[in-house]
Chain A
Amino acid sequence: MSSVLLEVDSVDKHFGGLHAVKQVSMQIRRGEIVGILGPNGAGKTTLFNMLTNFIPPDNGRVIFNGQSLQGVKPHKIVTLGIARTFQLCRPFVGLSVLENVLVGSLGPRVRHDGLGDRAMQLLKQVGLEAKAHTPSELLSYGDLRRLEIARALAAEPELLLLDEPFAGLGSSEIEAISSLIRQLHAEKQLTILLIEHKLREFMQLVSRVIALDFGEVIAEGSPAEIVAHPKVIEAYIGKQTEMAVHHAA
């Protein structure tokens, strides 16, 4: 078993005249927590959508567990072991919290006995067991994030893709979700890839950061290296000269 779980080999995506993702390559090793950092519009979500074939890449390959994802239908991706959450929480409106998690486990990857008990177990892990029978549309935003994570985990993935798990959350909720992710990583030997556009939120969380800007990988390294990387500073704060202009104005 190779130590590389996910290999992205120069994927490319155009939307009309917009070159959203340019020749992006990366390798994710088993058991890593990797953060993809980039300002809004850097192509992070498009990259995620290509990893799950919600949007097929124009060029390049994605290889998961030694298998190419080319031509694999989006609903089969989770069967291979990749589960994702969405940037905007998308619960199944009209279903209870427990039912939401159950649906996550109905794919062919998971054994179909004791589903209810396992769904309850997951709700306990993410701290939602008391709300199991609440309609999902009544949850707070922080609880919806927990629900999204529980639903994704119900598919028993090897790789968990989290699309901006901290978006729209207050600082105490961010800390709580952060420690939940750390705990899940430790308990389940999960490999986790997460997107974030704010540096601070995941400095403590990830072992490695890949920074994107304008659809390109601009830097890669430990969180400490990334914070100090000139290109990252440029992408986030702007060039020295631009700053000067700003101040003058």
Chain B
Amino acid sequence: MNGFQQIDKLSGVAGAAALVVLAVAPLVFPGNYLIGVLTVAAIYGIWAVSWDFMSGLTGRENFGHSLFIGVGAYVAGVVNVQMELGPWWSLPASMLLAVAFALLLGFPTLRLKGPYFALAMLSAAVIMQRLMLIFWEYTGGEEGIQDIAPLIRNNLHYYWFVLVVLAATTFILSWMARSRWGLILRAIRGDEATCLAAGIPITTYKIVSLVISAAFAGLGGALYAHYQLQVSPQLFAVVTSVTIITMVYVGGMGTIYGPVGGALLLTLLTEGLRNFGEWRLMIYSLLLIFILFFLPNGFIAPLWKRVRSGWGDRA
């Protein structure tokens, strides 16, 4: 026994099964509509896990995650349309630039206590959205950047590619969250002064976790740009960050796999409720209030823990 949490076999099997179901779903119910919805859901999944890795584990809620997403997407646009490089270049380039922004913002903001980190990140995202309009010669202003080339022409194949990225991201971040690293991040959430007394340089850990979180958010941003084939300043909007945070809450904060479920659930719910016309937003909001009010630890992760312990008892 080494004292650290392990990814148990049952969770591994369940994760693999979920992946297979998601991959096969468009074959069972063919049609571009479902592929599109699932692609967006998977991209939201990448954004939600990347948010959860930093904010869910350390308890430092980042209300400006859309900044890293927007940077990633715009880098894809600039690299592809303006610099005329091949589309695959956007993936490493967007991760790199998102990391640069995380370093730039993390150093001053992560020393802040209380709600000020959240507010600083929120403001940074709003400022970036304005900058996209101010520097319209480079960013295309309100229009954004159009005619981005797809990474993979076939919709279904692109969906599978996004799904693989989601699975890899979730696996890497789960593994890290269960390592010594993750333990330290959760300890930071518990008490920063005690962490210092235990010899842990908390600012370094917070900055590096923000960098990792930003890298995956930027990657997701580029994947989104290559799906929409255009980017607009709307991506930087606060509502993007808030949607992601809601997904994490519904999934179960700090659990990594939970937010993936939250992202899939809420994206599919949004689409499923389209039939309800103008009732849609009301039903959606009521469901959210219900979940957040009655299930403060979220829905997906606690459900899975219950199922797993049920199986464990029988085994």
Binding site for B on A (CB under 8 A): 52, 54, 73-79, 83-86, 90-95, 98-100, 102-104, 106-109, 112, 114-117, 119-120, 136, 151-152, 154-155
Which residues of chain A have C-beta atoms less than 8 A from B2's C-beta?
Answer: 114-116
- Contact yes or no, A107 B190, CB < 8 A: no
- Contact yes or no, B186 A78, CB < 8 A: no
B189 adjacent to chain A (CB < 8 Å): yes
- Contact yes or no, A75 B196, CB < 8 A: yes
Closest chain A residue, CB of each to CB of B194: A90
- Contact yes or no, A93 B190, CB < 8 A: yes
B197 adjacent to chain A (CB < 8 Å): yes
Q: Within the assembled complex, what's the spacing in Å between the Cα atoms of A92 and B180?
A: 15
Q: Within the assembled complex, what's the spacing in Å between the Cα atoms of A98 and B3?
A: 7
**Residues of B in contact, count (CB < 8 Å):** 23
| B181 CB → nearest A CB, Å | 10
B83 adjacent to chain A (CB < 8 Å): no
Contacts A54-B193, A116-B3, A119-B3; A95 near B186 (Cβ below 8 A) = yes
Which residues of chain B have C-beta atoms less than 8 A from A94's C-beta?
Answer: 186, 189-190, 254
Contacts A73-B201, A75-B201, A116-B2; A106 near B180 (Cβ below 8 A) = yes
- Contact yes or no, B198 A107, CB < 8 A: yes
- Contact yes or no, B200 A107, CB < 8 A: yes
Which residues of chain A have C-beta atoms less than 8 A from B180's C-beta?
Answer: 106, 112
Which residues of chain B have C-beta atoms less than 8 A from A99's C-beta?
Answer: 3, 183, 186-187
Q: Within the assembled complex, what's the spacing in Å between the Cα atoms of A109 and B198?
A: 10
| A171 CB → nearest B CB, Å | 27
B1 adjacent to chain A (CB < 8 Å): yes
Closest chain A residue, CB of each to CB of B201: A75
How many residue pairs between the two chains, A and B, have CB atoms under 8 Å in the bound complex? Answer: 96
B69-111 CB contacts (< 8 Å) to partner A: none
Contacts A91-B190, A95-B190, A119-B3; A86 near B197 (Cβ below 8 A) = yes
* 11 sampled A-B residue pairs with Cβ under 8 A: A77-B199, A85-B197, A95-B183, A99-B3, A102-B3, A103-B195, A115-B3, A116-B2, A116-B3, A117-B1, A119-B3
B194-211 CB contacts (< 8 Å) to partner A: 194-202
- Contact yes or no, A91 B197, CB < 8 A: no
Q: Within the assembled complex, what's the spacing in Å between the Cα atoms of A91 and B198?
A: 12
- Contact yes or no, B199 A92, CB < 8 A: no
Contacts A93-B190, A94-B186, A95-B187; A108 near B199 (Cβ below 8 A) = yes
- Contact yes or no, A92 B197, CB < 8 A: no
- Contact yes or no, B190 A106, CB < 8 A: no
- Contact yes or no, B194 A109, CB < 8 A: no
- Contact yes or no, A116 B1, CB < 8 A: yes
Q: Within the assembled complex, what's the spacing in Å between the Cα atoms of A79 and B202?
A: 15
Contacts A103-B184, A115-B2, A115-B3; A76 near B199 (Cβ below 8 A) = yes
Interface string of B1-33 (1 = CB under 8 A from A): 111100000000000000000000000000000
Q: Within the assembled complex, what's the spacing in Å between the Cα atoms of A94 and B197?
A: 18
- Contact yes or no, B187 A103, CB < 8 A: yes
B191 adjacent to chain A (CB < 8 Å): yes
- Contact yes or no, A109 B199, CB < 8 A: yes
Q: Within the assembled complex, what's the spacing in Å between the Cα atoms of A106 and B200?
A: 8
Q: Within the assembled complex, what's the spacing in Å between the Cα atoms of A75 and B205?
A: 12
Which residues of chain A have C-beta atoms less than 8 A from B189's C-beta?
Answer: 92-94
Which residues of chain B have C-beta atoms less than 8 A from A116's C-beta?
Answer: 1-4
- Contact yes or no, A103 B3, CB < 8 A: no
Q: Within the assembled complex, what's the spacing in Å between the Cα atoms of A83 and B198?
A: 7
Q: Within the assembled complex, what's the spacing in Å between the Cα atoms of A119 and B3?
A: 8
Closest chain B residue, CB of each to CB of A83: B197
Q: Within the assembled complex, what's the spacing in Å between the Cα atoms of A108 and B184?
A: 13
Contacts A75-B200, A75-B202; A106 near B184 (Cβ below 8 A) = yes
Which residues of chain A have C-beta atoms less than 8 A from B187's C-beta?
Answer: 92, 95, 99-100, 103
Q: Within the assembled complex, what's the spacing in Å between the Cα atoms of A76 and B199?
A: 6
